[in-house]
Chains A and B, each alone.
Chain A
Amino acid sequence: MKKRLFTAVASIVGILAVSGSTLAHHGTGISYDLTVRPVTARATVTEFKWANPHIGIYVDIKDDTGHIENWSIEGNSPYNWARMGWNRKTLKVGDEITLTFYRSKVPGVHAGVIAKAVLPDGTEVLRFQRDEPTAGDGVR
Chain B
Amino acid sequence: MRNRLKSLVVALLAMASFSSIGLAQTTTSRASAVSGQFDAHDLTGVWQRGGDRGINPVVPEMTPEGLKMFNANKPSYGRPLGAPLNGEHIGRVRAVPPAQGNSLVGDCNPPGVPRLYFEPEPVEFIQGPGKLLQFFSWTRALREIWTDGRMFPEDVDALMPTWYGYNIGKWEGDTFVVDSLGYDERSWLDHFGYPHSAGMRMQERFRRVSADTMEMVLTINDPLIYKTPWVSQKNIFKLVPRKELTLNGWYGFLEGICAPIDEGDFNSRVRNPAGGVTR
Q: Which residues of A come within 8 Å of B, CB atoms?
A: 20-21, 24, 26-27, 29-32, 49, 51-54, 56, 58, 72-74, 78-79, 82-83, 104-106, 109-113, 137-139
Contact = CB atoms under 8 A, between A and B. Distances in A.
Contacts of B138: 53, 79
A26 B257 contact: no
Interface of A (DSSP majority class):
mixed
Contact of A52 (B50, B101, B256, B274): B256
Nearest to B75: A26
Q: Chain B interface: which size bin?
A: 35 or more
B143 interface: no
A138 B78 CA distance: 11
A26 B270 contact: no
A24 B52 contact: yes
Given A104-B274, A106-B275, A31 B266 contact: no
Interface in B264-279: 265-266, 269-271, 273-276
A20 B95 CA distance: 18
Interface of B: 50, 52-53, 76-80, 83, 95-99, 101, 120-121, 137-138, 191, 244, 247, 254-259, 262-263, 265-266, 269-271, 273-276
A43 B189 CA distance: 41
B191 A26 contact: yes
Contacts of A83: 244, 247
Contact of A74 (B78, B96, B120, B270): B270
Contacts of A24: 52-53, 77, 120
B276 to A, nearest CB: 4
